[in-house]
Amino acid sequence: MMELTLLGTGCPKVDYKRFGPANLISTKMTNIIVDCGSGITQRLDQINISSAEIDALFLTHLHSDHVVDLYQLIISSWHSYRTKPWKVYGPKGTKKFVSKIMNAWQEERIQRINYENRSSTKAFNIIVKEFSASGIINIKDLKIKYFEVDHKPVPFAYGFCFLKDNKKLTISGDTRPCENIMKFGQLSDVLLHEVFIEDEIKETNKMRTSKTLHNVKDYHTPSSIVGKIANITRCKKLVLTHLVPTKFNEKKLKKIVKKDFGKNPIIGKDLLKIKI
């Protein structure tokens, strides 16, 4: 059995009920995180999972809302007595990104390491593996398939299938409607999909012009399409996350998606757990 915990169902917009994008996939012996948006360490603490216990971190893409708490995750794992290196799997550019973040804090870290005198610094050992177009990674009892999605102009963005004992969880990552989700997501027990909720963001000003709104919607999956995609994948359950905007009419969203999907979608909430 796998368990999916939504750690953050929001987006870059600040909302204390919807933290930045992050998910935990766990089995009895394995804990994998997908993305590390703002607030991930607080959410892990709320479910009593220590960052010292995480087996691997998978990154869908390098947009700030998905990776902004990377250093916080690493430093707090050290403070939580992590004694093993981190394994980070991400798109092309992840190695450079991780080394820049680690460099930014290097002097502070060295000072801390010398002063705090802890027995291990292995938590700062970060093994980064970058994805090719698609492939399979095995972590303990979990098999993870990664595949490209379409979040252009972001050059590399990925979705994942988590597989165990004939069960399948597909995670869309950030994407506009794309063929790979329909292909790789086929017959998922759970499809965790991002959504841009239409007709919820109306006013425009100089910082949010109609062009801005159009462009944001254009590289995400609108609520009028996400149900159709779920229907094509023939998934058992559709869970919506990365909700843009973070506050919206839930009834209306359910109704629109149900019309295309045939079943009610589950509207993701922070700390919601789903057994798969």
Output the smallest distance, CB 154 to Zn ion, in A: 6
Output the smallest distance, CB 126 to Zn ion, in A: 22
The pattern of x and - marking residues 34 through 73 that bind Zn ion according to CB under 5 A reads -----------------------------x-x--------
Q: Which stretch binds Zn ion (CB under 5 A): 73-81, 140-148, 168-176, 222-230?
A: 168-176
What does R_g of the chain's alpha carbons equal in angstroms? 19
Minimum CB distance to Zn ion smaller for 164 or for 220: 220
Closest by CA position to 36, among listed 3, 1, 76: 76
Q: What are phi and psi of 139, to 5 degrees?
A: -125, 110
Output the smallest distance, CB 15 to Zn ion, in A: 13
Q: For residues 93-152, which are near Zn ion according to CB under 5 A?
A: none
Q: Which stretch binds Zn ion (CB under 5 A): 67-75, 171-179, 196-204, 259-267?
A: 171-179
Minimum CB distance to Zn ion smaller for 164 or for 242: 242
Q: For residues 233-262, which are near Zn ion according to CB under 5 A?
A: none
| Count of residues near Zn ion by CB under 5 A | 3
Minimum CB distance to Zn ion smaller for 69 or for 174: 174
Minimum CB distance to Zn ion smaller for 174 or for 189: 174
Does 193 help bind Zn ion (rule: CB under 5 A)?
A: no
Binding-site ranges for Zn ion (CB under 5 A):
63, 65, 174
